[in-house]
C-alpha cells in the first residue's frame, strides 16, 4: 500500500466532495471511509486511476450517509446525483482547503488541528502529541472544529497568519516526526507565495528551504541525531540555500519584519558559515532579540540563551536561561549543553540523563543518553 500516494490524494479528493455540495464534516468522514476501503482493496486490486477511485467511493459513502440521515434530507435535495465514472477533475483544492480550515470562526489551535487532520493527513494521535494533550481531548477538538465549518461556503478564505502556522507545523512534523510532510508543506507554501503578495509567506518559504537544505545531514546512517555543529556542510543542498536566501532578501527589503523572516535570517546565517566555528553568533543573538520582540515566546528565549552562550560564553548563556520557565521543552538539554561548555561536567551529565527522560522521540533520547555516557566516561578517565 502506497501511503504517500494516499496522503497526497486526500486533500484534492476532499476538495472535490466539498465543491459538489457536501459539507466539510460529512465530506471528511466520507474520505476517511474511502481511505480505509483503499487500504483493504488496493493491495489485491490496484486501480488504474487512484484519485478517481477515491472520489467515486467517497462520494458514494457521502450519499449513503446523507440518505440514511433524516436530518440531512434538505442537503440531499441540493446535492447532485452520483456523477458517471471517469477521470477525476485535475483541480488541486488543497490550498483552498487550508484557508477553509483557517476560518475566522475557529480558534487558531482548532484551525491548526483541523487542517493537520483533514488536509495534512496526520492522525489524531500525532496531533495530540504535538499539543501535549490526551488523544480523546484532541479528537473532541477536531470534531467541534469540523462541525463549525460545516456550513461555511468553500470560497470564504480564512486568516493568512493561521494558514502560515498550519504550514509551519506540517513542515516541522515532516522534518522531525514520523510522517514525511516536509516536501508537501514546501509545495503548498510555494503555491501560496505565488498567489499572495505577503512578506511573511516569503519568510516562511525561505525558512523551510533553508532548514530542508540540511535534511540529509541531520541523522547518521544508524538513525542517530547529528547536531548542527557536527553536520557535513558539504552535503547541504546549496540550490535550496541559494533560493531560500534570495526569497528572504526580497522579503526583508520590504521592511515589514515578521517572525518567519527573522527565523529564516537565523537559518541563513547558519547556512552562510563554512564551518561551525565561523558562525556569526553575535548577529544570531540580534535576530533572536527581534524574535523575542515579535513573539515573546519562551521557546525563542530558550534558543536565544543557547545563542548567547555561543556569542558571550556559557555563563552568560546560563544567566539568560534562568529566565526561561522550567516547563519549556528541551530546557534541560540546553542547560546540560551550557554546563558542559562551562566545564561543569558532572552537572552536565546529570542534566543530560534528566533531559533524556523528557525527550519526545527515541532518537533524541538516545542522543542525550550518549552525551551523558560520554561525559561520565571522561570524568572517570
pLDDT at 208: 97
Digit-coded pLDDT (tens) for 200-254: 999 999 999 999 999 999 999 988 899 999 999 999 999 999 999 999 999 999 9
pLDDT confidence bin for 274, thresholds 50/70/90: very high
DSSP, residue by residue, 108-155: HHHHHHHHHHHTS---HHHHHHHHTS-HHHHHHHHHHHHHHHTTS-TT
For residue 75, pLDDT over 80 is answered with: no
- The number of CA neighbours under 13 Å toward the Cβ of 84 is 1
d(CA 310, CA 318): 11
d(CA 12, CA 88): 10
C-alpha 342 chain-centroid distance: 34
Judge whether 94 and 119 are in contact, CB under 8 Å: yes
Grid cell digits, residue 321: 536561561
Q: What are the residue boundaries of the structural domains of the chain, listed by start? A: 1-84, 280-328, 332-381
C-alpha 34 chain-centroid distance: 25
Local structure of 11: helix, strand or coil: helix
Residue count of the chain, please give it: 381
Share of the chain above pLDDT 70, in %: 88
Grid cell digits, residue 42: 488496493
Judge whether 53 and 39 are in contact, CB under 8 Å: no
pLDDT at 9: 85
For residue 120, pLDDT over 80 is answered with: no
pLDDT confidence bin for 378, thresholds 50/70/90: confident
The neighbouring-strand residues paired with 225 are 219
Judge whether 163 and 114 are in contact, CB under 8 Å: no
Digit-coded pLDDT (tens) for 303-316: 999 999 999 999 99
pLDDT at 72: 46
Compute the average pLDDT of residues 268-278: 96
Judge whether 214 and 231 are in contact, CB under 8 Å: yes
Poorest-confidence range of 114-123, 176-185, 337-346, 347-356?
176-185
Compute the average pLDDT of residues 33-62: 92
Amino acid at each position: 500500500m502506497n501511503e504517500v500516494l494516499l496522503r497526497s490524494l486526500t486533500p484534492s479528493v476532499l476538495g472535490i466532495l466539498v465543491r459538489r455540495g457536501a459539507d466539510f464534516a460529512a465530506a471528511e468522514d466520507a474520505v476517511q471511509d474511502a481511505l480505509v476501503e483503499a487500504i483493504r482493496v488496493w493491495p489485491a486490486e490496484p486501480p488504474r486511476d487512484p484519485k478517481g477511485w477515491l472520489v467515486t467511493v467517497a462520494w458514494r459513502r457521502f450519499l449513503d450517509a446523507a440518505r440514511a440521515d433524516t436530518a440531512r434530507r434538505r442537503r440531499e435535495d441540493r446535492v447532485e446525483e452520483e456523477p458517471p465514472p471517469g477521470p477525476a477533475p485535475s483541480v488541486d483544492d488543497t490550498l483552498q482547503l487550508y484557508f477553509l480550515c483557517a476560518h475566522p470562526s475557529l480558534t487558531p489551535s482548532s484551525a491548526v488541528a483541523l487542517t493537520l487532520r483533514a488536509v495534512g493527513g496526520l492522525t489524531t494521535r500525532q496531533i495530540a502529541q504535538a499539543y501535549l494533550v490526551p488523544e480523546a481531548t484532541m479528537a473532541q477538538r477536531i470534531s467541534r472544529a469540523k462541525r463549525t465549518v460545516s456550513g461555511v461556503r468553500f470560497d470564504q478564505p480564512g486568516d493568512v497568519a493561521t494558514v502560515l502556522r498550519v504550514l509551519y507545523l506540517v513542515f516541522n512534523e515532516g522534518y522531525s516526526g514520523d510522517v514525511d510532510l516536509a516536501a508537501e508543506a514546501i509545495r503548498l507554501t510555494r503555491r501560496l507565495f505565488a498567489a499572495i503578495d505577503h512578506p511573511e509567506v516569503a519568510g516562511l518559504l525561505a525558512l523551510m528551504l533553508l532548514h530542508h537544505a540540511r535534511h540529509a545531514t541531520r541523522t547518521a546512517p544508524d538513525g542517530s541525531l547529528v547536531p548542527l555543529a557536527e553536520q557535513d556542510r558539504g552535503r547541504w543542498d546549496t540550490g535550496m540555500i541559494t533560493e531560500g536566501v534570495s526569497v528572504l532578501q526580497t522579503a526583508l527589503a520590504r521592511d515589514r519584519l515578521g517572525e518567519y523572516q527573522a527565523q529564516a535570517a537565523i537559518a541563513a546565517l547558519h547556512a552562510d558559515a563554512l564551518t561551525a566555528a565561523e558562525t556569526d553568533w553575535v548577529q544570531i543573538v540580534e535576530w533572536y532579540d527581534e524574535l523575542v520582540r515579535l513573539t515573546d515566546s519562551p521557546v525563542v528565549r530558550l534558543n536565544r540563551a543557547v545563542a548567547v552562550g555561543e556569542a558571550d560564553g556559557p555563563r552568560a548563556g546560563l544567566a539568560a536561561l534562568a529566565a526561561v520557565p522550567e516547563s519549556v521543552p528541551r530546557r534541560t538539554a540546553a542547560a546540560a549543553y551550557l554546563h558542559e561548555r562551562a566545564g561543569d561536567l558532572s552537572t552536565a551529565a546529570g542534566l543530560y540523563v534528566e533531559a533524556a527522560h523528557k525527550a519526545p522521540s527515541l532518537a533524541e533520547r538516545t542522543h542525550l543518553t550518549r552525551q551523558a555516557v560520554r561525559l561520565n566516561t571522561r570524568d572517570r578517565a
